[in-house]
Amino acid sequence: MRTQVAIIGGGPSGLLLSQLLHTKGIASVVLERRSRDYVLSRIRAGILETGFVNLMREAGVAERMDRESYVHDGTVISYGNEEFEIDFKALTGTSVIVYGQTEVTRDLYDAAEADEGRVITEVSGVMPHDLETDAPYVTFMKDGKVIRLDCDYVAGCDGFHGVSRQQIPEDKRREFEKTYPFGWLGVLSETPPVHDELIYANSERGFALCSMRHANLSRYYVQCPLADKPEDWSDERFWQELKRRIPAHHAENLVTGPSIEKSIAPLRSFVCEPMRWGRLFLCGDAAHIVPPTGAKGLNTAASDVHYLYHGLVQFYEEKDNEGLDRYSEKALARIWKAERFSWWMTTLLHRFPDQTDFDLRIQRADLEFLRSNEAAQRVLAENYVGLPY
């Protein structure tokens, strides 16, 4: 087999890159170890920055997103029974939308099906080779046979545990990591959202987040110990705890119901440098992880796709390597800003086990300063809706 760009990983970043390249007549093959149904069963983020939305439109897959998504012009931040709104639209002139990652992935799979063979699912043993030469290739197993895929470039979109990052030699790879001493217990329920906008809640009992997917599908989170398991939390316990962490008038209006999905995710900040090695380019979780507090995980992957897509187009259309040569530099400059914002939001809103009384007073002062200072609100809003590419 032969293609121009081999893409390892059939999540949203790999599929979006492939679809964008397809619009420019650049051939790609996406290799995914899971089935389409499995990939679409995963419940992930739902907040999309303007940059991501524009990429979906450029890729020609935005029709359902534009029709069914929910525009969010701001967010609510609470501490105890106090709350205030950050008005994205007024502060930045733009907004974010709510459209689940599962739906993004579904739209991209549907588009790829029209180009038979562009996405190959249920493969195993994927391994890139000769990345420092002009003739890289990828081998994989499909239906018991070893297949070789020759290519010009390899995009590693295979997540934190994938093979791509490990191809950068240890003495050439630097990894930065911070782990957080708690996780997020997330519940999906077929209930109306408690509020029109997201609520980020700081409470004495820990962080909580109220979000939604649509008018009758809500996603809620509470901070919990890393040792907890989803089965430790009955639905009744979860709803009681959530009510204790959000302002009383929201708790009174909260509609509860059976959970249809429940999981616990640890929080981590992680960056790998560089994001390019020879003919290999890392995208998304293969290169970086952010805690979900700032809604940046899927959106940082999209910014990687933006830089790599334009670099590849520049090479194939103009025979100019500048975009590819500067890919890692450009991507990392934006990634570190997103890492800072996600770390700051996490620090602002969570309870840490080693916090002193002084630390708690500083956290409260930070929240009250944010509430009263328009310049501080604008900084938050600019980061939340997405820094420019």
pLDDT above 90 coverage of the chain, percent: 93
Q: Give the residue-averaged pLDDT of 55-64.
A: 97
Q: Considering only CA atoms, give the Rg of the chain.
A: 21
Task: Verify that 222 and 336 share a domain, yes or no.
Answer: no
CA distance 201 to 81: 9
In a shared domain, residues 262 and 381: yes
Which of 195, 250, 288, 296 is catalytic? The answer is 296
* Catalytic-residue membership of 296: yes
Q: Are residues 365 and 281 in the same domain?
A: no
| Inside any domain, residue 31 | yes
Q: What is the DSSP letter of 227?
A: T
Q: Tell me whether residue 327 is one of the annotated catalytic residues.
A: no
Q: What is the CATH number of the domain that holds 162?
A: 3.50.50.60
Task: Report pTM.
Answer: 0.95
**Residue 328 shares a structural domain with residue 298:** yes
87 inside domain:
no
Between CA 343 and CA 225, with CA 335 as vertex, the angle to 5 degrees is: 30
Peptide bond into 128 cis (omega under 30): no
Q: Are residue 371 and residue 323 in the same domain, yes or no?
A: no
Q: Checking phi first, is residue 342 left (phi over 0); if not, alpha (psi -120 to 50) or beta?
A: alpha
Residues 340 and 370 in one domain: no
User: Structural domain tally of the chain?
Assistant: 2
319 with 245, same domain: the answer is: no
Domain interval for residue 293: 5-72+96-177+268-347
Residue 214 a catalytic site member: no
Are 194 and 342 contained in the same domain? Answer: no
Q: For the domain that residue 369 is a member of, what is the CATH number? A: 3.30.9.10
> Per the domain annotation, does 123 fall within a domain?
yes
Set 153, 180, 200, 220: catalytic member? 200
Calculate the CA 341 to chain-centre distance.
14
Predicted confidence band at 43 (pLDDT cuts at 50, 70, 90)? low
pLDDT digits (tens, 9 = 90+) for 151-206: 999 999 999 999 999 999 999 999 999 999 999 999 999 999 999 999 999 999 99
Same domain, 244 and 308: no
103 and 212 inside one domain = no
Same domain, residue pair 262 and 272: no
Helix (H, G, I), strand (E, B) or coil at 50: helix
pLDDT tens per residue across span 301-315: 999 999 999 999 999
Pair 153, 6: CB distance under 8 Å = yes
